[in-house]
Structure 1
Amino acid sequence: MLDPQQCRSARLARDARFDGRFFIAVSTTGIFCRPVCPATLPQERHVRYFESAVAASSAGYRPCLRCRPDSAPDSPAWIGSGTTLARAIGLIDGGALQNGDITQLCERLGIGERYLRQLFQRRFGVSPKAYSLYRQCLFAKKLLHETTLPVIDVAHASGFSSLRRFNDAFKRQMSLTPTDIRRRRSRKNAALTLKLAYRPPYQWERLRHFFAVHVIDGLEWVGEQSIGRTIRYGATAGHFEARHDAERHQFEVTLVLNELGELNAIVRQIRRMLDLDADTQTIEAHLGQCVPELPLAEGLRLPGSWNVFESGIRAVLGQQISIAAANRLIQQLVDQLGERAGNNRRHFPAASVIAASDLSFLKLPGSRRETVRRLAVAYASGEVGDDPQQWLTLKGIGPWTANVAAFRGNADPDIWLDGDVGVRRALATLSTSIDPALASPWRSYLTLQLWNRIL
């Protein structure tokens, strides 16, 4: 948590770089806001500062309808790498407590229920279940503000099993009813267009360049200010397009989906793909101290892929060949096995589909072809999961492939791609050697900074 003087300076300046890093509660109104709220600034003696929106809500404050704290960058999702709390937050935000219970969540985390409750009580002042419910209501509030979806569809998309339970929970958490929100929102919004905010700086041109270099026709598309792709999440299929709005520090994301039950998880996947929750100022300050000999570019973001399996297959096909050659192989895979999605578009083929194919259409060594099938079979059967370190037991998959899959597919912030050709070329341009271990837990961003020197 920032100290009160830092918070005071940031709120008086309405500094967007602190958006999502803290929240401002006003005792005279009972409302909490973002640092960038355009409302008249309150006197300091009436202000309290909170590290998270859920902490402000649990203290009895309701969210401002003008600056909408629910639309601030997700500060709870960016608290470091490799911690139990970070994993728990990620699983809960992905619906772990909507589709299961605390016991199942703790089994996945490998910890006891008491310890998990202690972690959340210390961090947010609430239980894991209360945190989950608050996040569901925040997402519902976003849909009520920004879409014309019927309230019953908003409830379903937010993970509530009944409209009555949704209305009760929303009123308790937000101190407002869904109808109150709908009275205040504009009628001009498209049905499924959402605004996803980030904390500047954001180096869009470099991220766009990466996606453009790796684009696969029919699966993905890249414009001057936008990227899009077909997506599948469980039984939900469709596509999205994210348009960058630098002035407002956000992306306007349009989604076309066949159903809404996984909408919350899909939005979180998009946030991960675009690395919207990174606090690049903190990351770059750390890198600047650890590797002072490396000039740093501001606002570089991790270029995510849709999921870790896709990232892994693309990494295997890209072993020891150029980006252009790898793209040709991935294009063949999508063209041959990808399910049609309309408008000459296709989905990335599922693991079970790749596993069932002999892949004879891929013009590459037989050993590499078998590695692709081996990964697909193991993933489809559940022998391996979304942790690429498990894949190292499979023949043909080494540390570089597993690390690339974690780097893009899981947005792991602490991956050092020391075997990457681009990283080696960039290191050769430096006058002195660097110790990448010092950059932990942000070694993925050190990789980006090195790529930025040569690409």
Structure 2
Amino acid sequence: MWIDDDQCYQALRTRDVRFDGRFFVAVSSTGVYCRPVCPARLPKRENCRFFASAAAAESEGYRPCLRCRPELAPGDASVDANRRLARQAAEYLDAGAGDGESLAALAERLGVTDRHLRRVFHSEFGVAPVEYVQTRRLLLARRLLRDTGLTITEVALAAGFNSLRRFNTLFRGRYGQPPSAWRRAASGRRTSDGELVFHLSYRPPFDWEALRDFLAARAIPGVEGMERGQYRRTALIRRGGNVHRGWLTVAPGPRNGLTVTLSESLAPVVPEVLVRLRRLFDLDAQPALVAQRLGSLAAARPGLRVPGAFDGFEAAVRAVLGQQITVKAARTLAGRVAASLGEPLDTPFEDLTTTFPEAAVVAAAEAETLGLLGIIRARVKAIQALAAACAEDPMLLSPAADVERTLTELKALPGIGDWTAQYLAMRALSWPDAFPAADLGVLKALGETSAVAVRRRAEAWRPWRAYAVMHLWFGGQENKTP
């Protein structure tokens, strides 16, 4: 995947935002590594070394820049098989979902040998998974110390360290000072109500209005809402046998980013919340590469993103409910499911009242209970089969899952055809090449009547066909899809 070093230096010279997060530059004369958009004075070419990840730079002894803050860089969406495998593993590790799990167990979960996983991971990030995890935790800790008012103990736990002593030792060893010294030099942000505020970066252009409208039209009553351009929702995250519930808001922010506010109750699961929000808003997209492939199709809205899912199971239920009915009707039914089977939650917002039910709860519900909500029998059967599958395998609808295997498993369930499976690959799996060829909006936008003909035309858009779908929908057909 490596970009030519001369190209990297040119991107650094021009502070090219297209390369932000795709590489990091370390400066031998200062011992510091930066993002390519760093506002600091341009270093001499002979003093620069380029790394594929922050972890690789830190493994060579470089410290993160205090001005551009490498921990805020956007990620890198990928479609190549080996790169995607490495990114799947990284996303799983970033979210902290694999805390305490061996690499062999993670490899088995991803359907490969641990040796192969180590090899492709090192090829992608320049370090072994254990080094990657340690660096990501330390960078998150720096971020929490600087950007929140969490105590040092809370920071250590939220960043994934089970021992405060080990956290202090690793932090001091890596950065030459204890966490307390970094905290004193920073201005932590914690509102009077204990809320936590974060900045999530993206590569411009970013079509916030289109994404806002898409999510607003599909917001599940009681669970999600959009008010004055601010997206907000409730959240339920299970971690290590514990359930964490709370609320969050997202709005446009400064410096090519979004401003995220979390309730204090979500502090223990900050890493997973931020990873989920990056997926939901497709913040790791590479607009320049997408536009290059899609050509004139993307010209009108070059910053259009593919909305992901904050929770894969929630998105899947919403998709099944939306089969052959309007967006508004599906939204109403999803709200009834949340109100009937979800748990009430106190929030500062009148429209946020409950968390969406977990898969196990929906699977265990009486079919009659769902039927009384206005859901037809075939949909009830499909939703409960899907819920049982997700309860058995929580990674089934996660971007860390194998795409082809997941598509096969989904289509083996009752009521899940190719259209629904591909739609979920777009949103729940964040697969940039997903393509629901039989979608009515796509067919109409292309003036075709056959899914076979649509697939043939879409070959030119690989590996970004999911973005092509969004552009076709926003050509006037988006409200025909769930």
In 2, distance between residues paired with 1:392 and 1:298?
A: 33
Q: Is the 8 A contact 1:307 1:410 kept in 2?
A: no
> Structure 1 137/452 Cα, relative in aligned 2: closer, same or farther at 3 Å?
same
In 1, distance between residues paired with 2:234 and 2:35?
A: 33
What is residue 404 of structure 1 aligned with on the other side?
A: 423
| DSSP 3-state at the match of 2:345 | strand
Q: Is the 8 A contact 1:229 1:239 kept in 2?
A: yes
> Structure 1 340/97 Cα, relative in aligned 2: closer, same or farther at 3 Å?
closer
In 2, distance between residues paired with 1:111 and 1:364?
A: 39
TM-superposed CA distance for 1:392, in Å, is: 1.8
> Structure 1 220/368 Cα, relative in aligned 2: closer, same or farther at 3 Å?
same
> Structure 1 293/135 Cα, relative in aligned 2: closer, same or farther at 3 Å?
closer
Correspondence 1:279 to 2:286 = yes
TM-superposed CA distance for 1:39, in Å, is: 2.1
In 2, distance between residues paired with 1:192 and 1:305?
A: 22
In 2, distance between residues paired with 1:383 and 1:220?
A: 22
Partner amino acid, structure 1, of 2:378 = S
What is residue 208 of structure 1 aligned with on the other side?
A: 212
Structure 1, residues 322-342: CA drift from partner, whole Å, max 9, x if none? 111211211222222221111
TM-superposed CA distance for 1:61, in Å, is: 0.9
TM-superposed CA distance for 1:233, in Å, is: 0.9
What is residue 400 of structure 2 aligned with on the other side?
A: none
What is residue 445 of structure 1 aligned with on the other side?
A: 467
Identity over the aligned pairs, expressed in percent?
A: 39
- Matched residue count: 448
TM-superposed CA distance for 1:255, in Å, is: 0.6
What is residue 307 of structure 1 aligned with on the other side?
A: 311
Correspondence 1:263 to 2:285 = no
What is residue 376 of structure 1 aligned with on the other side?
A: 387
> Structure 1 217/18 Cα, relative in aligned 2: closer, same or farther at 3 Å?
same
> Structure 1 420/366 Cα, relative in aligned 2: closer, same or farther at 3 Å?
same
TM-superposed CA distance for 1:366, in Å, is: 2.1
> Structure 1 99/39 Cα, relative in aligned 2: closer, same or farther at 3 Å?
same
Q: Is the 8 A contact 1:193 1:253 kept in 2?
A: yes
> Structure 1 222/384 Cα, relative in aligned 2: closer, same or farther at 3 Å?
closer
TM-superposed CA distance for 1:163, in Å, is: 0.5
| DSSP 3-state at the match of 1:298 | coil
What is residue 421 of structure 1 aligned with on the other side?
A: 440
> Structure 1 301/174 Cα, relative in aligned 2: closer, same or farther at 3 Å?
farther
In 2, distance between residues paired with 1:18 and 1:183?
A: 32
What is residue 403 of structure 2 aligned with on the other side?
A: none
In 2, distance between residues paired with 1:437 and 1:171?
A: 52
> Structure 1 174/282 Cα, relative in aligned 2: closer, same or farther at 3 Å?
farther
Bigger shift: residues 433-442 or 276-285 = 433-442
Structure 1, residues 38-66: CA drift from partner, whole Å, max 9, x if none? 22232333222223212211222110112
Partner amino acid, structure 1, of 2:460 = L
Correspondence 1:317 to 2:321 = yes
In 2, distance between residues paired with 1:188 and 1:110?
A: 41
In 2, distance between residues paired with 1:168 and 1:383?
A: 34
> Structure 1 30/381 Cα, relative in aligned 2: closer, same or farther at 3 Å?
closer
Structure 1, residues 14-45: CA drift from partner, whole Å, max 9, x if none? 23332212222211111111222222232333
Bigger shift: residues 349-358 or 277-286 = 349-358
In 2, distance between residues paired with 1:53 and 1:9?
A: 19
Q: Is there any run of 5+ residues in structure 2 with no aligned partner, and where?
A: 398-405
User: Residues 126-275 of structure 1 correspond to what in structure 2 (within 5 A)?
Assistant: 126-187=127-188, 189-190=190-191, 191-234=195-238, 235-245=243-253, 247-258=254-265, 260-275=267-282
> Structure 1 383/21 Cα, relative in aligned 2: closer, same or farther at 3 Å?
closer
TM-superposed CA distance for 1:418, in Å, is: 1.2
Counterpart among 400, 414, 422 of residue 395 in structure 1: 414
In 2, distance between residues paired with 1:121 and 1:310?
A: 34
Q: Is the 8 A contact 1:81 1:414 kept in 2?
A: no
Q: TM-score, normalised on structure 1?
A: 0.91
Bigger shift: residues 203-212 or 16-25 = 16-25
| DSSP 3-state at the match of 1:118 | helix
In 2, distance between residues paired with 1:383 and 1:37?
A: 39
TM-superposed CA distance for 1:406, in Å, is: 2.3
Partner amino acid, structure 2, of 1:42 = P
In 2, distance between residues paired with 1:425 and 1:394?
A: 28
Q: Is there any run of 5+ residues in structure 1 with no aligned partner, and where?
A: none
Structure 1, residues 198-242: CA drift from partner, whole Å, max 9, x if none? 111111111011011112222111134321110111011111101
Structure 1, residues 289-321: CA drift from partner, whole Å, max 9, x if none? xxx677562121111222221111111111111
In 2, distance between residues paired with 1:425 and 1:266?
A: 37
Q: Is the 8 A contact 1:121 1:127 kept in 2?
A: yes
Bigger shift: residues 300-309 or 199-208 = 300-309
In 2, distance between residues paired with 1:383 and 1:109?
A: 13
In 2, distance between residues paired with 1:411 and 1:2?
A: 24
> Structure 1 38/108 Cα, relative in aligned 2: closer, same or farther at 3 Å?
same
Q: TM-score, normalised on structure 2?
A: 0.86
Q: Is the 8 A contact 2:291 2:299 kept in 1?
A: no
In 1, distance between residues paired with 2:37 and 2:246?
A: 34
